Amino acid sequence: MSGRGEARVLQRHRVVVTGIGVATPIGIGREAFWEKLLAGQNGISRVTLFDPAAYRSQMAGEVKDFRAEDWLDEKVARRVDRFTQFALVAADLAMRDARLQGADYDRCRAGVIIGSGIGGTQTIETEHAQLLAKGPRALGPFVVTKVLINTAACMVSITHGLKGPLSAPSVACSTGANAIGDAYRILERGDADIMLAGGAEASVSPLPFGSFCGTRSMSTRNDDVEHASRPFDKDRDGFVMGEGAGVVVLERLDHALGRQAPIYAELTGYGNTADAFHITAPEPDGDGMLRAMQGALRDAGVAPTDVDYINAHGTSTVLNDKIESAAVMRLFGVHATKLKISSIKSMIGHLLAAAGAVEFAATVLSISTGWIPSTINYERADPDCPLDYVTQGAELTEPDVAMTQSFGFGGGNACLVVRRFKEERCL
């Protein structure tokens, strides 16, 4: 290998978060989302996007009163599926938050990684009905692009003229975290200056919703929907599906400083592993989760005792919460009892492919503001989940190092480490 090649491999650029955009069941935009998250507002309600009466689970975290035309060009809104609409809104908000709208930067060195797990199933449902009722000539020219998972990333790229790296991972519930981790690697290598990264999902529709009901992994607390999502609680009975998108602007530190961009926090570590165990169930000993967390800490160059807060995957399923808690205890040992842990899925539900991105945004805001959101609906301690879950309202603890982790169907595990930004810190 040449000296030039060796220098390229060894160099690691620092990466910071300069913009945050979200569309969630408790609010659209960073400010509304964070305010309601700290207030412990519940975004779970009975499904309104279709009649849920025949379904085992009948509640979801919907993005309330969302009209794409209020946020997007009407023609664009008509030509993309709901999940892409969410992604476009979140990306636009992130760009504005990072002060990139109208800014002068090299668009050939600005890219997009936004994934989805389900993609355009709402379009599949409506267009299949058209096919059966009127035949193939009733299908329009935009059906294919409305369905494709990569449409969200492509439309963000087209809308903002971003010509750098482009991809759209699909790793089930870890997708958003994987997208951010992959974008981090690109920036760390110096292959781009700016990356928009995250996930989008709009799966509260009959086919995916009914399919998840069929897995018996969703809550059936239909007579008490506001308390159905209860991570780590003894009486949890399954996750509550949510929808929305999270997109963040990641930037090489030198580039961000050069344009005097706002900096929320520094992304310093990424771990990514596979269970190689089962298509839906997590590995019983949590080894894949553990290795993802270990990898992220090693990448960040921090010891387990340096971590102050974990924004947990915390789905409210019996198995996940138990196994995740056990993996944390294995990794952190005695320090596990000193960690603050919370799951915002208690308020917004499980946004599937968007979950990791929205939870990363919340983790960054915890580092930036010092506040840790609560896990609402926690009433009874579970001996299998014996850690210090934040459950009595938001806490001001000013964490310096935080982790957020996402684990998905198929055994995908992703973990990200975020630190309070200090310009003088060395790699």
DSSP assignment letter at 318 = H
Cβ burial of 210 (10 Å; 0-12, 13-18, 19+) is middle
Nearest CA to 324 out of 335, 310, 337 is that of 310
Where do we find the tokens 């009901």?
A: 213
Q: Residues 255, 350, 385, 415: which is the catalytic one? A: 350
Q: Give the Cβ contact number of residue 313 at 10 Å.
A: 30
Residues 136, 351: Cα–Cα separation, whole Å: 33
Q: Residues 173, 213, 385, 415: which is the catalytic one? A: 173
Residues 261, 96: Cα–Cα separation, whole Å: 11
Catalytic residue at 313?
yes
Cβ burial of 369 (10 Å; 0-12, 13-18, 19+) is middle
- Segment holding 300, helix H or strand E: helix 287-300
Contacts of the segment 139-146: beta carbons below 8 A, 24+ positions apart: 142/79, 142/80, 145/79, 145/80, 146/79, 146/80, 146/81, 146/84, 146/120
CA 66, chain centre distance (Å): 19
Strand 194-201 and strand 110-115: the pairing is parallel
Q: Residues 13, 313, 385, 415: which is the catalytic one? A: 313
N- to C-terminal Cα distance for the chain? 24
Catalytic residue at 350?
yes
- Residues catalogued as catalytic: 173, 313, 350
